[in-house]
Structure formats: C-alpha cells, structure tokens
Structure 1
Amino acid sequence: MRLKNLLVVAALILPLSGCVVAVNGSKDARFNESDWRQTQKANRNYINQLTTGVSLVQVMQDLGTPDFTEAFQQADSSVQVLFYRTHHRRSDGMTSKDECTPLIFSNGRLTGWGDKAYAQL
C-alpha cells in the first residue's frame, strides 16, 4: 500500500518539475524594468533632499543596501562611500558605478555626494 501511494505522489509531482511560478504576473523583480526605474527615481528624490551631517546608519535605513561600497582610512578619518543607482546608461542588465551617485561619509557622517565630491577624495 505504501509503495502504491508513493508511486501516485511521484506521478503527480513529476509533471510539475519543469514549471515556473510567476508571482504578481512578473519575473524576478531584479529583471522588471519598472522596478529599477522606480528605485532610481526614489534614490534621486532622497539624495536631492540630503543635507551634510546625516548619519550613515540613517541613510542605509532609508535607502537600503547600496549597489557598491568603498571604505578606507584618510588621515584620522574613516571614510565610507556608498553608491546608489540613480540613472541609466546601458541596457545590459547590470548596475555599474557610473550609473550610481556616490555618498561620502567621514566618521559615519555625510560630508558630500556626487561625482565632484568623490573626485576630491
């Protein structure tokens, strides 16, 4: 009896082995064009309202995990650079640093953002 039940279950499951389930009618969110466009817009809007002195912790709570990070010591300061995607350059399915805005933190506080601030490091 147990073998018969096992064979019935296997017969029912086998046809499902090649199925893909779409949630909310879309593929993985990483490949959904409207999602990255919305993320870019939200990141730009947030960054446009920034002021120096904001904590690194607060920015990461608000924007989430950055696309890229860098960290190093400069004189007596601990410098961290967070890169968040803010604009589109290539349709290659990958985010690159040139599609991001760098946010520069010194000792955990925002000291500047953008390409000019990054170039001064």
Structure 2
Amino acid sequence: MSLMPKESSKLIAKSSKNVFIEEEGVKILACEVLEGLKNGTISINNFSQSELHPNSGNKKAVDWIFVLDTLNFSFWPRDGDNKWNVNGHTGYFALCAAIKRAVDVSQAVDSTSSQFK
C-alpha cells in the first residue's frame, strides 16, 4: 500500500502512540512561512538554488534526495542537545553538506545507490 504524504501523515497521527502533530505549532509555522514569503526572507528560488542540493540535471538526484530524506528524520535534536556542524552549516543543511562531501569524495563509489554495501 502506498500513500501520499498527506494521507500517510494522517495515518501516522491517528495510529501512533509516540508521534503527534502539534496543531498550534503547525499554525505558528504556517504564519511564519507565509510572512517570510511575503517579505522576501523566504524564497522558493533560494531553496532550490542551494549549492548543497544536486542540480536538476544530475541523474543521481533522486537517489541523493532519497538518502537525504531518510536520514533527515533521524537526528531531530531536543532543546539543549549539542548540534553538529558541517562546513559552517547546522541541522538539515549540515546533513546536505555531509552527503555532498561524501558523494564528492567518493565519486568512484556511489554511496547513494541501493546497491552500495
């Protein structure tokens, strides 16, 4: 069974004992994103143009994004936890920088492939 993100989120929220959606937090974030889009501090172009993301012509972009999205949910720190840093980036962009560095260093080995062992 394959679900779209909205449906899978509903299933997880309904079924999970340890995962929940903080409705007030979603509203606050939505307002912050909307305000950022209106005042120009957030831009879709800025995100897609990041040097840390694969370019649209990269044949391995889907594999890269799969690895990134899989790992992205594995390191959400709690308040007060130490945050790791890669080339000056933290959080999501530190993960992007680490994956990019691993791929750049190991061009002979495709570490984003499902065949990687």
Smaller-chain TM-score range?
under 0.3
Structure-2-length-normalised TM-score: 0.23
Of structures 1 and 2, the larger Rg is shown by 1
Q: Which structure shows the higher strand fraction? A: 1
Task: Answer 1 or 2: higher relative contact order, Cα 8 Å, separation at least 6.
Answer: 1
Between Structure 1 and Structure 2, the one with more helix by share is 2
